[in-house]
Amino acid sequence: MTYKSILCLSGELPQKEFFAKMQLPVIAADGAANKLHTLGIAPHIVIGDLDSIDPCLEVNLLHIQDQSRCDYEKSMEYLEKEGLLPTIILGSSGGDLDHILNNISIFMLNSQGNLLYAPPLYGTILSPTQTLLALPIHTKVSILGLPQARVVTQGLEWDLTGQKLYFPGFNACLNRSKDDRILVQVLEGKALFLAHAFFLKK
């Protein structure tokens, strides 16, 4: 997958080296600009109601007052309009639990093809299709139906054979890969795939 941007939320961010390695435009959702500033990174633009950003920062701003949507949603709308999707989403974790749950909810609704990176976890959405994933043997993985999915896998310690996954309810958490290639087939619904390291192959 070729990503076109990095979107930073206000949770925990990786070290500066990650941004240097990716060499992608960085977009900040409001207060994330403060954390980027401490890392010495100037975002391409800061988007939101701008109630959290340090007013002393000299950055490009896009003020969107609409209180019916959060800054994450406003930023995703901007990325879509500017052709900057798919994106790598950072900072989804490390804050209050309600913020984390809301971030995951928005990711599941609007982020087909995007990558969720909350070190050390990577996450992606899998819809009805067959996906081959290459990752080191013994990598810890989890597959969650959000809100539900029916999934078949090959290459895991405890393969799924068409079980329905639900949230809340039964999910396939803390599984491990036994091969360096695993096949995940979503038969219906939508699943969130989480792993400590993986690379998607189309």
pTM of the model: 0.89
Query: In the chain, at which residue ranges do the beta strands (DSSP E only) sit?
Result: 5-8, 26-29, 45-48, 61-63, 87-90, 115-118, 121-126, 129-134, 140-154, 161-166, 172-176, 181-195, 199-201
**Is 100 a residue whose pLDDT tops 80?**
yes
**Is 199 a residue whose pLDDT tops 70?**
no
User: Quick one: pLDDT at residue 202?
Assistant: 37
Tens of pLDDT, residues 151-177: 999 999 999 999 999 999 999 999 999
Give Dmax over CA atoms of the chain in angstroms: 55
Instruction: Name every residue whose Cβ is closer than 8 Å to that of residue 81 and which is 6 or more positions away in sequence.
Output: none
**Is 110 a residue whose pLDDT tops 80?**
no
Confidence label for 120 from pLDDT (cuts 50, 70 and 90): confident
> Cα separation of 61 and 34, whole Å?
13
Q: Six-digit token pair at 170?
A: 């039964």
Tens of pLDDT, residues 126-160: 989 888 888 899 999 999 999 999 999 999 999 99
Q: What would the mean pLDDT of 94-104 be, rounded to a whole number?
A: 88
**Is 201 a residue whose pLDDT tops 50?**
no
Confidence label for 6 from pLDDT (cuts 50, 70 and 90): very high
Q: What is the average pLDDT score of the chain?
A: 91
Question: N- to C-terminal Cα distance for the chain?
Answer: 8
Radius of gyration (C-alpha) of the chain in whole angstroms: 17
Give DSSP secondary structure letters for 5-36.
EEEE-SS----HHHHHHH---EEEETTHHHHH
Domains, the chain, ranges and CATH? Answer: 5-118 (3.40.50.10240), 124-201 (2.60.120.320)
